[in-house]
Structure 1
Amino acid sequence: MGSPHAVGIVGLGVISRQYLDLFATSPSIRVAAVADLNAERAADVAAALPDARALTVAELMADQDVQTVLNLTVPAAHAEVAHAAVSAGKSVHGEKPLALTVTEGRGILEAATAAGVRVTSAPDTVLGTGIQTARRLVDDGAIGTPMSASATWVSPGHELWHPAPGFYYAPGGGPLFDMGPYYLTSLVHLLGPIVAVTGAARRARSQRTIATGPHAGEQIEVEVDTHVSGLLEHAGGAVSTIVTSFDAVASTSPPIEVHGDRGSLIVPDPNMFDGEVRLAELGRGGWRSVAASAGYADSGRGIGLIDAVAGQGPGRAGGSLALHVLDVMESLLRSSAEGRRLSIHTVAERPPLVPLTAASEWSRSLT
């Protein structure tokens, strides 16, 4: 019987609540320390946890009790915090994207390898029953030879709901870097790694207006492209497309569709852990719902860390996959700017399928 894995959380913004909720259900993880630029917020979070202490970032990095740093800072700080964790001899699990650039991301992985620690990264939503059930159908030949896929995510912009949305419009933000990792990581799980891309990107306007919260009415400068379309060539021969946008009101397109020569799949929202998978087979007429057959059931954000620690390795949310997705995103934007097709030079293996695993099993995998 092992001891719970001790995690120190850096950054206690909106997304941290989802991680804390998952860890509260799993005796395999213990939150040992928390840190935030807002010391009062860190103290409040620590007070609500059984054994956690509110520390400064430097104190958390130096704390011998912390085994893995959970990096929930804004994208611009991802690389700095990851390097601090690695330098302190700690593994790191970070929110997406891995870093702002491929150069930064590669530096994190190289430093981690030299230090003998692990790097894992969101999104781990793809390890839930939605994406994994679709993956199993592809693997089992339900659609024949995979030929193509499409991924679509559009909205009018996060400034309409987020109280402090500035970072969404700074480097590391935009619809591609914010939402693209869910869709691109899913496409790699479904169809394998990407070897070349062609991108087209646009910016509808130079400023956005915050709609809610204490900063309502304030203007945000837009520093990134807010509509990105891309053509992706997969190593196995399939071709997929992706559209991410902060410049559209709504869409009727499924989040992801996958097409083969014998069938098609409608894949649920990759920002969620479950959802209905639908299959249409050649000659059988119409769509039918498919029961969950793979994935971590009833899971949440942080399951990728649990998966990695339980397997004593990089797991299915390993840093090499996050770097590959970062490379694809950076290359899509560069392809648009340069007006040409670009090859992808990072290498990532398609992660192993997650067998259908009940919460009662995965939550106690370390204890």
Structure 2
Amino acid sequence: MGDPHRVGIVGLGVISRAYLDTLADHPGVRVVAVADLDGARSAEVAAALPGAEAMTVDRLLDRPDVQTVLNLTTPAAHTEISLRAINAGKNVYVEKPLAVTFPDGRTVVDRAASAGVRLGCAPDTVLGTGTQTARTAIDDGLIGRPLSASAVMVTPGHERWHPQPDFYYAPGGGPLLDMGPYYISALVHLLGPVRAVVGAASRLRAERTIDSGPRLGQRITVQVDSHVTGVLTHASGALSTITTSFDGVATTAAPIEVHGETGSLAVPDPNRFDGEIRLFALGDTQWRPLEPRAGYAGGSRGVGLIDLADATERRPPRAGGEFALHVLETMTALLRSADEGRRIELTTTAERPVPVPLTSVEEWKARSSGR
């Protein structure tokens, strides 16, 4: 057991609570610094974390003991904070998406590579038992050669529950860039990288009304398309369809289904780490559940950062920057395709990350990188 990996967090909004719940009591990680535009919020979070100090972003980036910056800012700030951290010689793990635009994402990945620092990006939910068990089932041939998949996410919009939902409807937001990373990351884990896309998009209304919190009843402007659908052509030849929408109410569709020559898989919500995986094999009369056989059991947000801290030259981070860049290009190409009305060929590819062996909660929580 070595010294804990020391982390500084920039951005302490709603999602930070989920990360803190994972990292605060993990022996391999220590949060030593936190920063937020709201100084009172920084002080409150630091007070609940033994050994952590509230400070400005500048001071956090200057601290020599911060090894990795966890970038939990809003999407519009992802690139700036990531680049500043990389320039300060820090590893970076950033909340999804990697950046608002593909060129910005490319810049972040290239800068990290030239600086010799590690770069990781959410989502890490796909490292849980849900997606990883489904991947193992495919790799073990339980559905034969995979031919196609569908991914569906339909909600009435995050303004119904989020007290500050503006960024969901600003550039970098929308259902695809907000929720698409979960679904496209899962599809790439399951079927491999994407070669080309065709997209279509629409916008139901120009304004949204906040339904909770201190701004209850306020209206916000919708600057992005709120319903995006498309077809992904994978390098393997498999075809995926994806629908992400803030304009619907509910759906009976499985979050992800994968169809092969000899069977079909129902894959759980990739926004979660676990969930039931079901197989309908050719000749069967009903779906049957599969027991977890891979992934971080009981995983929670922050596992990807822990995985990054434990990475080596022989085993790169499973939620790494190149993978996130490919997901980002897939999404931005879908939006571009919808705008231009044509098929878009991608310029990036991504290796499917090394599978996660079935790892118990006790095992991954006890892990210490010593880096």
Paired residue for 2:224?
Answer: 224
Deviation digits for residues 285-311 of structure 1 (CA, Å, limit 9, x no counterpart): 210011000000111111111112112
Match of 1:178 in 2: 178
Tell me the residue number matched to 2:266: 266
Match of 1:140 in 2: 140
- Sequence identity percentage: 62
One-letter amino acid of the structure 2 residue matched with residue 321 of structure 1? F
Quote how far apart the aligned CAs of 1:24 are: 2.6
Alignment match, 1:52:
52
Corresponding residue of 2:335: 333
Secondary structure, counterpart of 2:354 in structure 1: coil
**Counterpart among 356, 359, 362 of residue 361 in structure 2:** 359
In structure 2, what is the Cα distance between the partners aligned to 1:75 and 1:243? 21
State whether structure 2 residue 222 is matched by structure 1 residue 247.
no
CA shift at 1:58, angstroms? 0.3
Residue 82 (str. 1) matches residue 82 (str. 2): yes
For 1:161, the equivalent position in structure 2 comes to 161
Equivalences for 1:1-367 in 2 at 5 Å? 1-313=1-313, 314-366=316-368
Please report the TM-score for the alignment, with normalisation by the length of structure 2: 0.98
Structure 1 alignment gaps of length 5 or more? none
SS in 2 for 1:264: strand
CA-CA distance at 1:195 after TM superposition: 0.2
SS in 2 for 1:97: coil
Structure 2, unmatched stretches of 5+, are: none
Where 1:363 maps in the other structure, the secondary structure is helix
**Structure 1 segments of 4+ aligned residues over 3 angstroms from their partners:** none
Count residues in correspondence.
367
Q: CA deviation at 1:347?
A: 1.7
- Deviations 1:253-306 (Å, cap 9, x if unpaired)? 000000000000000010000000000000122100110000001111111111
Shift of 1:240: 0.5
Q: CA deviation at 1:217?
A: 1.4
> Which residue identity does 1:348 align to in structure 2?
A
What CA distance in whole angstroms lies between the structure 2 residues aligned with 1:6 and 1:168?
Answer: 30
What whole-Å deviation, never above 9, does each CA across 1:173-227 have from its counterpart, x for those lacking one? 0000000000000000000000000000001111111111111111111100000
Q: Which letter does structure 2 place at the counterpart of 1:194?
A: V
Q: What is the CA-CA distance between 1:353 and the residue it aligns to?
A: 1.0
Q: In the aligned structure 2, how far is the partner of 1:24 from the partner of 1:11?
A: 16
Coordinate RMSD, CA, aligned: 0.8
